[in-house]
Amino acid sequence: MSERIIPVVDQRSSLILPAPAKLQAGTTLKDQLQRPLHDLRISVTDRCNFRCSYCMPKEVFHKDYPYLPHSDLLTFEEITRTAKVFVALGVRKIRLTGGEPLLRKNIEVLIAQLAALRTPDGQALDITLTTNGSLLARKAQALKDAGLQRITVSLDGLDDSIFRQMNDVDFPVNEVLAGIEAAQAAGLSHIKVNMVVKRGTNDHEILPMARHFQGSGVTLRFIEYMDVGATNGWRMDEVLPSAQVISRIQAALPLVPLAAAAAGETAQRWGYANAKGQYDPQLGEVGVISSVTQAFCRDCNRARLSTEGQLYLCLFASQGYDLRSLIRSHLSDEEMVAQVAAIWQGRSDRYSELRSSLPPDASQTPARPRVEMSYIGG
């Protein structure tokens, strides 16, 4: 059997910053495809204690892997200042990611700082966090007390052997489930569980997961296995289309389609139906994120900030803009706002739409390797 070769990509090179924008008061900031800026995803660490094959495979992210030195990371104060700039431009939701964000020491201090920010009209932000759940049981109450409102837990199956195989560090599923229970007990609302579905690996866990979380108060979302980065060995034949995911669930648990909860929402929502075939909020809902088979680029309103201050305008980008240099310069907040506005106004990214028009193998050999998901968060 041939040895699998995985390229290691230098993902820390930067694009040239555009000239600062001149903003007119009262106008909504939009990119080249008329998409507003609404969500900011902030990676607070490039480290993770799991080695999931679709994200941080062990053969690349081994014990000698050169993670970023601490001095390169944005401080909490720098992250908060950057978030304030984005809020001035329309951001209303901030998601903290990683790596595994709960590995960042004193993360609750950052959450408190972000929770104190207000929009220009005085509204609080929607602060959320995505985690693998391994540290959640011990952290949930502190996160809630700091101002975290919502949380999303990555969980790829209930079968312990499959879960240990996918995280590749022999971590037990019961500890993640205990973390979800702790988050509920702490009062975190709108808890979501994300399951990446990989055909032939964990797709038999779809129905058990749907049954387990039905009526639990937790929203379950199924994500198509994506071709993010260069290290996960992505193959199209390992993608299970979301339409088939819903069909499998509906065969046992009737579902009814639900409207999108917000503009730019990535998930298609389905509610569990009662005996009358009507959506029953007490039973909850599931969602599917079909980034491979049904591109949603046209509604994408998200920017991503890496842990050392590179701004990416697409999950599938190959290069970012170096905001850290701006943050650590002598620019005023107003000058920072103008610079970030110019970056967003020049945005035309729509990778998933373009991929759907390419030959089957073309998307696997991009001209420039894409940034790793572990580097900028999912």
- Cβ atoms of 5 and 268 within 8 Å: the answer is no
Exposure string of 321-334, with b = 16+ CB inside 10 Å and e = fewer, is: bbbbebbeeebeee
Looking at residue 315, its pLDDT comes to: 82
Q: Measured between alpha carbons, how far is 57 from 168 in angstroms, rounded to an integer?
A: 8
Q: Which run of H or E residues covers position 312?
A: strand 310-312
3-class DSSP assignment, residue 225: coil
Q: What are phi and psi of 274, to 5 degrees?
A: -85, -170
- In 277-370, alpha helices (H): 323-327, 333-345, 351-355
- Cβ atoms of 297 and 352 within 8 Å: the answer is yes
Q: Measured between alpha carbons, how far is 344 from 302 in angstroms, rounded to an integer?
A: 10
Nearest CA-CA partner of 225 in 255, 200, 262, 260? 200
Looking at residue 321, its pLDDT comes to: 95
pTM: 0.88
Strand partners, 310: 322
> Burial, 131: exposed, middle or buried (Cβ in 10 Å; 0-12, 13-18, 19+)?
buried
Q: What are phi and psi of 237, to 5 degrees?
A: -70, -5
Q: Measured between alpha carbons, how far is 31 from 279 in angstroms, rounded to an integer?
A: 37
Looking at residue 5, its pLDDT comes to: 37
Q: Measured between alpha carbons, how far is 35 from 340 in angstroms, rounded to an integer?
A: 15
E strands, 64-191, in order: 93-97, 126-131, 150-154
Residue 108: how many CB atoms within 10 A of its CB?
18
Nearest CA-CA partner of 144 in 183, 176, 93, 96? 183
N residues, the chain: 378
Reading the block at residue 57, the tokens are: 């495979």
Looking at residue 233, its pLDDT comes to: 52
CA distance readout (Å), 142 to 49, 78, 102, 148, 368: 20, 22, 11, 9, 41
| Ranges of the chain with pLDDT below 70 | 1-13, 25-26, 227-234, 263-264, 295, 352-353, 355-375, 377-378
| Cis before 99? omega within 30 | yes
Looking at residue 9, its pLDDT comes to: 41
Looking at residue 25, its pLDDT comes to: 67
Each residue of 317-345: pLDDT tens digit? 888 999 999 999 989 999 999 999 999 99
Domain parsing of the chain, residue ranges: 14-376
Each residue of 91-148: pLDDT tens digit? 999 999 999 999 999 999 999 999 999 999 999 999 999 999 999 999 999 999 999 9
Helices (H) and strands (E) counted in the chain, each on its own, are: 11, 13
Q: Which run of H or E residues covers position 40?
A: strand 39-43
Residue type, position 317, single letter: A
The CATH number for 14-376, chosen from 3.40.800.10, 1.10.3720.10, 3.20.20.70, 1.10.101.10, is 3.20.20.70
Looking at residue 262, its pLDDT comes to: 76
| Residue 206 per-residue DSSP state | H
3-class DSSP assignment, residue 29: coil
Looking at residue 355, its pLDDT comes to: 64
